[in-house]
Structure 1
């Protein structure tokens, strides 16, 4: 479902119409929303040159003089129109999205500059959404409003107007879709003013079914949790590596005979921290295994590999103290172990 929303500031220029047409073709757009068309000659006249081929439908909200004007053009093979509702500042096209056989309402918005009239527009749109709650909504256009001060640069920010706008979004359960691209979508000719919602307008809102909204929120929550877990794992791995390096350093000093009781006590403390980190990692593996087992059954072997590795680590002898010197060389450890147990089990002759 590719939609383009554009504050075109007039479509009388043939070059601009060609530019819009190329955007529509290059992005395989099925629905095109234009704001500030400044023309009463779009439907049945300029709409074909804007769309670029003969298969389309068009609905308009004519401008008052040379001010305003809204046009929505779409592919009827993908969207079957059933109802059109228009008001001062919006054009609603309702119908069936044919690929999924789902009812959608697409609302093309060109909000007025006056804050009082914008407030009335939000109220009217909220009533319209509540009256057609069985439909899924996609609202797009030039809202002439921002949600926070960081969305403007070099121009005044009205917190009261922003609050009315945010309340409208919250009351209707709309989702402010995150669009890629640059931070600001409009810059004045002198470069002094930047804002989010002017030309070209790319702010989109969507209202889906309650189940879809919950599913979307859970998906976002899952993503945040995964990011948090990833950062925690990175921190734990870095700490684990640091502990291993410190323990190895103490072992080398002990082999050289420079170890002291304080250093060995530190090694004991470091080793305890390392075991705690390993224990948490194994616990995490167990939790993941329970989830994966339900999905993969016997194919899930990561958990058992983790347990085997844990057992190997617990049975490993990192080193021994020989005559006051710490030895971690495997050959020396084996030789000393053989000597020790050979002496223990050596039979004495009568």
Structure 2
């Protein structure tokens, strides 16, 4: 998948904006939707664009399930049977979104911040594998861009790349790459070969690492029992307030150690879930998931 940024990085902006683009290769499997939801919660993105949803008809329930909140709004380019499909989702408390254009292979949305004076545009694309249809896609993208003023993000799966280095096990340039590069050569790119991609713009200050209790730990299997075992294992003597402070300090140390394990570290959990999704997609290549 590729993200094209027009205008949004050309000048320094004071607000933060976080966008996820992801070819999910189908949203028909409930187990897969649950995994996707967990990963999206770790990113806390402003706007999410899925390609290849492979879902026809009303997808409101599916969108609410993967977003994890009733505050979600979305626009959709409906799939054709079990092929294609694009959905752009956002939190309506933060952004007012309006569909601005819809084509055969793309859908565009204009966004305005509800609490800040900032507007921008997004186009989600899924290009077919057929060469002629891909060329139609490039023309559609160009026509869409000519109608959109201001900052613009183009995200999607183009089913080709510009250079061999952007695709695994690709060693030479082919005709599809040349056509793609010529059509869209003037734009700035961020690329990812069939993995979810997170784009952040604005001023994201690096903060020092410090211990923080995560509420989601309470939902982790066996967490309460583990904390109880640790607490009862601490043995201190002295005044009650001293004992309490000492045990809390010891508990903090235990939690810091545990937070570095797969079960307590959200980043590590995300990598595990992504690996599981890759396995599901491998299965999906051979049969329909139910």
Q: 1:144 to 1:97 in 2, by over 3 A?
A: farther
Considering Cα pairs closer than 8 Å and 6+ residues apart, tell me whether 1 or 2 has the greater RCO: 2
Report the equivalent of 1:197. Answer: 193
Q: Residue deviations 1:212-262, cap 9 Å, x none?
A: xxxxxxxxxxxxxxxxxxxxxxxxxxxxxxxxxxxxxxxxxxxxxxxxxxx
**2:187 is the counterpart of 1:174:** yes
Q: Residue deviations 1:185-223, cap 9 Å, x none?
A: xxxxxxxxxxx532x25397x9xxxxxxxxxxxxxxxxx
TM-score, structure 1 as length reference: 0.49
Q: CA RMSD in A?
A: 2.6
Report the equivalent of 2:32. Answer: 16
Q: 1:92 aligns with which of 100, 108, 115?
A: 108
The 1-side partners of 2:97 and 2:168 are apart by: 40
Report the equivalent of 2:99. Answer: 83
Report the equivalent of 2:21. Answer: 5
The 1-side partners of 2:183 and 2:193 are apart by: 17
Deviation at 1:131, TM superposition (A): 1.9
Q: Residue deviations 1:114-148, cap 9 Å, x none?
A: 1221111111111111122x221111121111111
The 2-side partners of 1:140 and 1:168 are apart by: 16
Deviation at 1:39, TM superposition (A): 0.8
**2:136 is the counterpart of 1:141:** no
SS at 2:59's partner residue?
Answer: helix
**2:65 is the counterpart of 1:49:** yes
**Alignment: residue pair count:** 186
- In structure 2, stretches of 5+ residues that fail to align are 1-16, 202-290
> Are the equivalent residues in 1 in contact too, given 2:101–2:144 (CA < 8 A)?
no
The 2-side partners of 1:46 and 1:203 are apart by: 21
The 2-side partners of 1:138 and 1:30 are apart by: 13
> Are the equivalent residues in 1 in contact too, given 2:105–2:125 (CA < 8 A)?
yes
Q: 1:82 to 1:37 in 2, by over 3 A?
A: closer
> Are the equivalent residues in 1 in contact too, given 2:120–2:152 (CA < 8 A)?
yes
> Are the equivalent residues in 1 in contact too, given 2:97–2:112 (CA < 8 A)?
yes
Deviation at 1:17, TM superposition (A): 1.0
**2:126 is the counterpart of 1:110:** yes
SS at 2:184's partner residue?
Answer: helix
TM-score, structure 2 as length reference: 0.58
Q: 1:135 to 1:64 in 2, by over 3 A?
A: same
Q: 1:161 aligns with which of 176, 196, 214?
A: 176
Considering fraction of residues, name the structure with more helix: 1
- In structure 1, stretches of 5+ residues that fail to align are 180-195, 207-350
Q: 1:78 to 1:151 in 2, by over 3 A?
A: same
The 2-side partners of 1:145 and 1:88 are apart by: 18
The 1-side partners of 2:23 and 2:153 are apart by: 17
Q: 1:135 to 1:4 in 2, by over 3 A?
A: same
Q: 1:127 to 1:41 in 2, by over 3 A?
A: closer
Q: 2:50 aligns with which of 34, 39, 45?
A: 34
